[in-house]
């Protein structure tokens, strides 16, 4: 220690030295010091340890020399080695924490720092499309339920999804939407999969077949084959509500298998609606929630307080450093978008493009106003004019843009769309022949 004191402080280092008193005496024990090394700013303690002063000239009269003090320079070197070892461990743990953070959220499709390979072929045994299955939304809100009632109603319809991929096992969540065994999950849960099975809330496991999926919307449909259904008995399924009836602040729940903890319930609120998030170069319009979503929640249901699925959990923001984690920023695919996509997958095995109307509209105090009519489009050919108010589409009242888009999601290229317009004091009906797809 004397050599260190003579040499002075290390650059940027503060060294505090003091001696502890002898028991029952005010004198200091010459054998012991406490050394505390600190970094300049912030004054964070890096390492604290105790050791006896090395005795160069032998023991003091009347006192025993501890084995540690007798080793002299060897003890000093071991202290240095201990310090260096601790520093190395800290560096290693920091690096490992970063890797774990990235891997931990691998199946949640993080929105930052991790880019996934696309176009990985799915070779899970298939199930044919166009078998008459469909997904329908209910717009009847029903009664408000407690959290316990929501869980009892929905948890039996929520399953853990595990798929064997070239990189290991991908784990996510799925939700049954028909009594004959159709279920919905995220595409990235099954991407690259060769085999797939699900586990019910009862713990019963069964193989599933791949029906169809769409990577752009990150949705996939799976099917439990009839032979598995016979063994499992009757299956419960979830009711899907209308996400367009949500408002910011509405209570919501998530059920899933985070870290393979099957049947985990978390709660929160709707934090934002129609949040545009860029994922892998494309924009997804999602619900934002502060309900806790973690690795394994992918593909699971976001549920309103009526016990209806109003979204499929797909992503959360994350940081690549654990000490700067991001919490309460989860996202779900709105159920209003699911109906069209899932039914296309069930019937054709792929998503069909929506038709282009050719109008740009805004909602003002008087209703749904046509701001711009694009040239050489269905709207222009039908006689729609700027300044018109669209008061109905296909016989359904249109008070805002969501009402018009809801009708458009039911139509395909080649269909006709009847619009009822208010033009000044007149009411005009026009028919759009939808010959062009949305690009």
- Catalytic residue ranges: 188, 218, 298
Would you state the structure tokens that stand for residue 203, as one six-digit string?
Answer: 């713990």
CA distance 161 to 196: 7
Q: Does residue 49 sit in helix, strand or coil?
A: strand
Q: Which contiguous run of DSSP H or E holds residue 426?
A: strand 426-433
Q: Is 227 in contact with 239 (CB distance < 8 Å)?
A: no
Q: Does residue 12 sit in helix, strand or coil?
A: coil
Question: Residue 56: left if φ>0, alpha if ψ -120 to 50, beta else—which one?
Answer: alpha
CA distance 16 to 13: 10
Task: Output the 3-class SS for 197-256.
Answer: EEECCCCCEEECEEEEEECCCCEEEEECCHHHHHHHCCCCCCCEECHHHCCCCCEEEEEE
CA 158 to chain centre: 17
Q: Does residue 130 sit in helix, strand or coil?
A: coil
CA distance 372 to 358: 8
Q: Residue 3: what are its φ and ψ, rounded to 5°?
A: -60, -40
Would you state the structure tokens that stand for residue 428, as one six-digit string?
Answer: 């005009």
Would you state the structure tokens that stand for residue 12, as one six-digit string?
Answer: 């940027």
Q: Is 138 in contact with 145 (CB distance < 8 Å)?
A: no
Between strands 240-241 and 137-138, the pairing is: parallel
CA distance 348 to 350: 5
Strand partners, 392: 397, 420
Q: Does residue 382 sit in helix, strand or coil?
A: helix
CA distance 315 to 279: 10
Give the CA radius of gyration of the chain: 32
Residue 304 class from Cβ within 10 Å (0-12 exposed, 13-18 middle, 19+ buried)? Answer: buried
């Amino acid at each position: 220690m004397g050599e260190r004191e003579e040499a002075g402080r290390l650059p940027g280092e503060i060294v505090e030295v003091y001696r502890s008193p002898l028991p029952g005496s005010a004198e200091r024990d010459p054998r012991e010091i406490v050394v505390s090394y600190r970094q300049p700013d912030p004054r964070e303690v890096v390492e604290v340890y105790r050791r006896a002063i090395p005795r160069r000239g032998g023991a003091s009269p009347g006192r025993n020399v501890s084995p540690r003090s007798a080793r002299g320079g060897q003890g000093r070197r071991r202290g240095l080695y201990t310090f260096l070892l601790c520093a190395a461990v800290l560096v290693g743990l920091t690096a490992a924490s970063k890797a774990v953070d990235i891997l931990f959220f691998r199946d949640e499709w993080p929105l930052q720092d991790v880019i996934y390979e696309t176009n990985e072929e799915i070779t899970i045994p298939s199930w044919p499309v166009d078998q008459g299955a469909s997904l329908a939304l209910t717009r009847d809100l029903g009664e408000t339920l407690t959290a316990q009632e929501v869980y009892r109603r929905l948890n039996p319809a929520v399953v853990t999804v595990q798929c064997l991929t070239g990189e290991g096992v991908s784990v996510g969540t799925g939700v049954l939407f028909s009594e004959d065994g159709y279920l919905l999950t995220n595409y990235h849960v099954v991407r690259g999969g060769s085999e797939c099975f699900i586990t019910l809330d009862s713990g019963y496991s069964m193989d599933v077949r791949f029906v169809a999926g769409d990577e752009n919307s990150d949705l996939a449909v799976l099917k439990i084959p009839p032979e598995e259904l016979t063994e499992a008995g009757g299956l419960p399924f979830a009711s899907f509500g209308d996400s367009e009836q949500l408002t910011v602040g509405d209570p919501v729940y998530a059920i899933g298998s985070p870290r393979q903890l099957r049947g985990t319930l978390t709660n929160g609120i709707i934090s934002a609606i129609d949040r545009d998030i860029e994922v892998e170069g494309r924009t997804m319009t999602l619900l934002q929630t502060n309900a806790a979503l973690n690795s394994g929640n992918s593909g699971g249901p976001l549920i309103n307080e009526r016990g209806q699925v109003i979204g499929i959990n797909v992503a959360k923001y994350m940081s690549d450093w654990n000490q700067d984690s991001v919490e309460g920023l989860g996202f779900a695919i709105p159920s209003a978008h699911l109906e069209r996509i899932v039914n296309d997958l069930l019937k054709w095995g792929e998503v069909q493009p929506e038709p282009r109307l050719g109008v740009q509209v805004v909602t003002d105090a008087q209703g749904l106003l046509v701001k711009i009519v694009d040239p050489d489009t269905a709207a222009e050919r039908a006689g729609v004019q700027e300044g018109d108010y669209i008061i109905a589409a296909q016989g359904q009242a249109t008070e805002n843009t969501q009402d018009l888009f809801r009708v458009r999601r039911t139509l395909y290229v080649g269909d006709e769309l009847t619009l009822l317009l208010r033009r000044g004091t007149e009411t005009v009906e026009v028919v759009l022949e939808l010959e062009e797809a949305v690009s």
